[in-house]
Structure 1
Amino acid sequence: MGNSRGIIIPKPLLAQLGFEDEVEMVVEDDALVLRKPAKRSREGWAEASQKLADEGDDSLVWPEFANEDDEHLVW
């Protein structure tokens, strides 16, 4: 974990708390608090992407641009 510190939480304890794949970790006062996230990561992304595509608003934000000397590359 690099220069970070890690702890191991036993799987039975996580199951008892109802934690599955994701946990939200926050500092409250002087305590480290673990809780179920309000919503899952990337929740709704597929629907939002489909809506953008349906509305024709899914064009690239940044234009395509080549790297220097790309014309010399052989694919």
Structure 2
Amino acid sequence: METAIIKIGNSKGLRLSKTILEKYNIKDKVEIILEMGQIVLKPIETPRKNWDVSFEKMHQEGDDTLLLTDVFDDEDFEEWK
């Protein structure tokens, strides 16, 4: 596919079609990767999106307890003073 470089203010850019944006799930940002003479655009996903909602649900269901006991319970912190 060929596309023209367009002027955007003092910069230049390229326009991606709606089809490409939807097919590759490109929202607001892309990562630009330069490798072996090529420019690769990679969609940026937000992997932690809505974690707050999930954590709240875990708390409400009592599923947010520690799986391991505190590793410092038996430590003598006096030697560190």
TM range (shorter): 0.3 to 0.5
Kindly name which structure, 1 or 2, has the bigger radius of gyration based on alpha carbons.
2
TM-score (norm 1): 0.46
TM-score (norm 2): 0.44
Q: Name the structure with the higher strand share.
A: 2
Greater relative contact order: 1 or 2 (C-alpha under 8 angstroms, separation 6 or more)? 1
